[in-house]
């Protein structure tokens, strides 16, 4: 089973409270989502492999550490996932960004991918799939299915707020992936909102209703 980690650093908890407040407006919401995503990226990237390289400091030749292994691609699930991309890019500026938009057809119940644009080499990259809310887990599961179908294998899922129902569903569907969240909330209500949650993350990020 992959890792499940609540990244509950005090700064993250403080910032999460700011965006949970219903009176937090679009500008601050957008800024703080990116700030939390950046802080989370620090922890999510903790196990990145290092290798030795020899450099010359102004004083002497020296063996030092440099990142090795897979390069990163951030994959936001449309549309709310876009709100986390810039924050992660602050820490990992060379990451590529793939976008994925999908929904489940009401009649056939089959996933419909309405937009998928990935870097060519996703099979060779560490993929950070991002979506602020892990509610039922439906979109995360479909997005990861779509990435695996294209050769993606090294996948971490990063969200801000998770419902226990979504964590369970995602772990059952994709036991190999690591899940990171800033908070594990109480439950999903009958309309599919996370309680206490923060409402509709996409609407709050983009100022829509």
Residues annotated in a binding site for uracil: 194, 199-201
User: From the list 39, 133, 141, 170, which residue makes contact with ligand URA (rule: CB under 6 A)?
Assistant: 133
Cα gap 19→109, rounded to integer Å = 33
* SS3 per-residue string spanning 87-146: HHHHHCCCCEECEEEEEECCCCCCEEEEEEECCCCHHHEEEEEECCEECCCHHHHHHHHH
Residue 69 contacts ligand URA per CB under 6 A:
no
Q: Which stretch binds ligand URA (CB under 6 A): 26-34, 105-113, 120-128, 193-201?
A: 193-201
Known active-site residue 203: yes
Query: What does DSSP say about strands 111-117 and 99-104: parallel, antiparallel, or unpaired?
Result: antiparallel
**From 104, 121, 176, 189, active-site residue:** 104
Closer by beta carbon to ligand URA, 112 or else 195? 195
User: From the list 135, 140, 167, 169, which residue makes contact with ligand URA (rule: CB under 6 A)?
Assistant: 135
Catalog residues that contact ligand URA under the rule CB under 6 A: 80, 133, 135, 192-194, 197, 200-202
């Amino acid at each position: 089973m992959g890792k499940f980690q609540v990244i509950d650093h005090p700064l993250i908890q403080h910032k999460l409270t700011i965006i949970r407040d219903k009176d937090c407006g679009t500008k601050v919401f957008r800024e703080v989502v990116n700030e939390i995503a950046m802080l989370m990226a620090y922890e999510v990237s903790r196990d990145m492999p290092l290798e030795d390289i020899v450099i010359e400091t102004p004083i002497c030749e020296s063996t030092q550490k440099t990142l090795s292994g897979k390069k990163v691609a951030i994959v936001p699930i449309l549309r709310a996932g876009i709100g986390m991309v810039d924050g992660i890019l602050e820490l990992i500026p060379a990451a590529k960004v793939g976008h994925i938009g999908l929904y489940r057809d009401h009649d056939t119940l089959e996933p419909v991918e309405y937009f998928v644009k990935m870097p060519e080499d996703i099979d060779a990259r560490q993929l950070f799939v991002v979506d602020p809310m892990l509610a039922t887990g439906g979109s995360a599961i479909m997005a990861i299915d779509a990435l695996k179908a294209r050769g993606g294998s090294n996948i971490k899922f990063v969200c801000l707020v998770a419902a226990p129902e979504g964590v369970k569903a995602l772990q059952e569907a994709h036991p190999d992936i690591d899940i990171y969240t800033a908070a594990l909330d109480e439950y999903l209500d009958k309309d599919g909102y996370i309680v206490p949650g923060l409402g509709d993350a996409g609407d709050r990020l983009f100022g829509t209703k």
